[in-house]
Amino acid sequence: MRRSLNITPVPGAAAAEALPRIVAFVEEMAELDDWAPDLVLRSNLILEELILNTLTHGRTTGLSDIEITLESGENSVAITLVDDGAAFDPLSDGLPANTDLPLQERSIGGLGLHLVRSMAEDLAYRHADGKNHLTLVARSGV
Amino acid sequence: MELAQERNAGTNVIRPAGRVDGSNSADFHESLMAALSGDDNRVILDMGGIDYISSAGLRVLLLLAQHLGGSSTPFAVCSLAASVDEVFRISGFNQIITVFGTLDEAKAQLA
> How far is it, in rounded angstroms, from Cα A46 to Cα A126?
18
Contact between residue B21 and residue B56 where contact means Cβ atoms under 8 Å apart: yes
Does any domain span residue B9? yes
Q: Which residues of A touch B87 (CB under 8 A)?
A: 45, 115
CATH topology classification for A2-139: Heat Shock Protein 90 (3.30.565)
Mind telling me how many Å the CA of A93 is from chain B's nearest CA?
A: 16
Closest chain B residue to the Cα of A52, Cα to Cα? B22
Counting every residue, how long is chain A? 142
Mind telling me how many Å the CA of A109 is from chain B's nearest CA?
A: 9
> How far is it, in rounded angstroms, from Cα A126 to Cα A87?
9
- State the CATH number of the domain containing residue B21: 3.30.750.24
Mean pLDDT along residues A45-73: 89
Q: Which residues of B touch A23 (CB under 8 A)?
A: 21
Q: How confident is the model at residue A51 (pLDDT cuts 50, 70, 90)?
A: very high
Does any domain span residue B58? yes
Provide the 3-class DSSP secondary structure of residue A83.
strand
Q: Which of residues 92-111 of A touch B (CB under 8 A)?
A: 97, 99-104, 106-108, 111
What local confidence, expressed as pLDDT, does residue A93 receive?
67
| Bigger pLDDT: A108 vs B38 | B38
Amino acid at A59: R
Tell me the β-bridge partners of B53.
Answer: B20
Report the number of distinct structural domains present in chain B: 1
Nearest to A59 by CA among A81, A19, A87: A87
Across the interface, whether the CB atoms of A103 and B52 are under 8 A apart is answered no
Reported ipTM exceeds the 0.90 cut: yes
Pairing of strands A66-72, B11-20: unpaired
Q: What confidence tens digit (pLDDT) does each residue in B8-55 have?
A: 999 999 999 999 999 999 999 999 999 999 999 999 999 999 999 999
A3 phi, psi to nearest 5 deg? -145, 155
Q: How confident is the model at residue A56 (pLDDT cuts 50, 70, 90)?
A: confident
Does any domain span residue B108? no
Residues 6 or more apart whose Cβ sits within 8 Å of residue A58: none
